[in-house]
Amino acid sequence: MKLHPDRNKDDPDAQAKFQELHKAYTTLSDREKRQIYDQVGQDQYERMESAGGAGAWDQGGNIPNAEDIFRHFQDIFGGFGDAFFTQRGFGGFRGMTITNITLSFMEAVHGVRKQVRLPNGKKIEVNIPAGIDHGQAIQVEDQAILAIEVKPHRYFRRDGLDIICETSVDIVEAILGGRVVVPSLSGDTEVYLQAGTQHGDRLRLSGKGVRPERGRSGDQYIVIRVVIPRKVTARQRQLLLEFAEEEQSKKAA
C-alpha cells in the first residue's frame, strides 16, 4: 500500500504511479478493454485513452476506491503488488505481454498444470493454483502475464470461494423432509432435508466450497427448487382436496 495516495499526499511520483496502477486495474478487470488492448497494442491504446475512447477510466470518470484497486492486484498477482509496479513502472503495460488462457470450471477450482505458448513463441509449463477465478492473472515470466478465463459449469457457480448450485425436490420431499442426493465438487453427496422446506431455501455445506492452496476453504450452498407436478391422477387430486380441507380446518381452529 505504499503507493496509496492518502499516504503520499506530497509525493507527485507516488500520485503518478497510482494513476498508472489504476489504468492497469481498469484494463485488466474489464474484458472489453483488455481485448482492445490486445488488438491495438500499448501505444495505440494510450492514444485512444487520451482521446477519451476505449481506455477512458470509466463511464463518468469515477475512480474506484483505492483499497479496492490494491486488493484487486493483491488477488490477481499473488501479492507482489507494489514491488511489481514500482520496480518496473507500469506505464500502461509497457513492455508486458498478456496471454489469455481458458480453464474449465473444475480446473480452476482444483488447480491444473498447463502448457502455454507465449506471444514470443516460447512454450512453458505453468502450474495454475487451486482456487483461481475468472478475471484473475498470473505472472509467469519477467514480462509475461496470463489472464485467466474460466468456462461456466452446468451445475455450479462461484461467489468468491463459495460454491452455489440448485437441486430440485418434489412437494412430498419438501413437506415431509428426508435425505436427498445433491452434486458437490467431490461428487454426489447425501444431505438431510428438513420437513417443511420452502422453495428457495438454502442448505449450507460448511467447508465444501473452493479450497485454495492458502487460506480458508469456502462453503457450498444448495438452493432448493420445489417442483410442482403438471399433472396428477384422480387419486392424487382427491388426496390433495382432503389435504386442503384439513388445512382450512387448522386455520379455523
* Four-residue CA torsion sign, 115, 118, 123, 126: negative
Can you tell me the distance from the alpha carbon of 4 to that of 57, in angstroms, rounded to the nearest whole number? 18
CA distance 177 to 139: 49
Mean pLDDT of 5-11: 56
Q: Is 89 a residue whose pLDDT tops 80?
A: no
According to the model, what pLDDT value does residue 7 have? 54
What local confidence, expressed as pLDDT, does residue 33 receive? Answer: 61
**What is the architecture of the domain spanning 157-250?**
Sandwich (2.60)
Over residues 155-200, the pLDDT tens digits come to: 999 999 999 999 999 999 999 999 999 999 989 999 999 999 999 9
Which residues of the chain does CATH 2.60.260.20 include?
A: 5-150, 157-250
- Domain 5-150: CATH class, spelled out: mainly beta
The pLDDT score that the predictor gives to residue 120 is 85
Nearest-5° Cα angle at 102, 97 to 106? 140
Task: Give pLDDT tens digits for 104-126.
Answer: 999 999 999 999 988 888 899 99
pTM strictly above 0.85:
no
- In this model, does residue 81 exceed pLDDT 50? no
Q: Which three cell numbers stand for residue 150?
A: 474460466
